Structure 1
């Protein structure tokens, strides 16, 4: 009887494996698309020259992060 149950369960396992493979492929595609979009945006950002507003926003974010996490702020400065 154990063999019959195992044989009956195999199609379900194959179905689950196929579903897992689909989710893996979807996740890999989303990751690849996100990375491609990020690097395309970075390329456009660097190709169009210096952006003073962008650096000002980054400085404000760093200042806010140091204010929010004062204990760990020295690690981010590299000292």
Structure 2
């Protein structure tokens, strides 16, 4: 036989399984709604609409460079660089 003492098995019939005040676990796996993804897509959509409405050419002066470029390119490049860095 074993030298270990007998440990009683808890009785689960009278509230021994789930502490009071705790919700019962639901079967299956719960998946949370992806709020971060939805908000990121909404912001991205707003930026795309803003860029598409600003297609005129603008003059860009940077250090000793001076050139004309479409505003949509400037907005898109700024958006991409802000995500990367």
TM score, norm. by length of structure 2: 0.36
Structure number having the greater strand percentage: 2
Higher RCO structure (Cα 8 Å, ≥6 apart): 2
Q: Which has the larger Rg? A: 2
